[in-house]
Amino acid sequence: EPGLSLLEKRLVRLLEASVVAQGFGPDVAAPAMPEVGRSTGVRKLSTDDAGIFGPGAVDLARLDKEDVWRRFGHSHKNIEIERLRGLLDERIESLVALNPCRLELRERLASVMREGEAQDLGADALLERLLALVKEVNEEGGRAAREGVKEEELALFDLLVAACGSEVEQGERERVKSLVRESIAALKADRLVPGWRKDRAARREVRGVIEEVLDRLPDPLAPAHAARAADALFQHIYDSYPGGGRGTYAKG
pLDDT at 71: 83
Nearest of 237, 236, 230, 218 to residue 173 by alpha carbon: 218
Q: Are 113 and 85 in contact (CB under 8 A)?
A: yes
Model confidence pLDDT, tens digit, residues 98-132: 999 999 999 999 999 999 888 888 888 998 999 99
pLDDT at 193: 93
Question: What CA dihedral angle connects 80, 127, 14 and 17, to 10 degrees?
Answer: -130
Residues in the chain predicted with pLDDT less than 50, given as ranges, are: 1-9, 11-12, 18-48, 252
pLDDT at 40: 30
Beta strands in the chain, from DSSP E residues, in sequence order: none
Nearest of 97, 95, 193 to residue 142 by alpha carbon: 95
The Cα–Cα gap between 252 and 250 comes to 6
Model confidence pLDDT, tens digit, residues 149-183: 999 999 999 998 888 776 778 888 898 899 999 99
pLDDT at 22: 47
For the chain, the domains span 1-49, 52-141, 146-240
pLDDT at 24: 44
Q: Residue 226 in 3-state DSSP? A: helix
pLDDT at 206: 96
CA angle 81, 67, 52 (to 5 degrees): 35
Q: Residue 77 in 3-state DSSP? A: helix
pLDDT at 192: 94
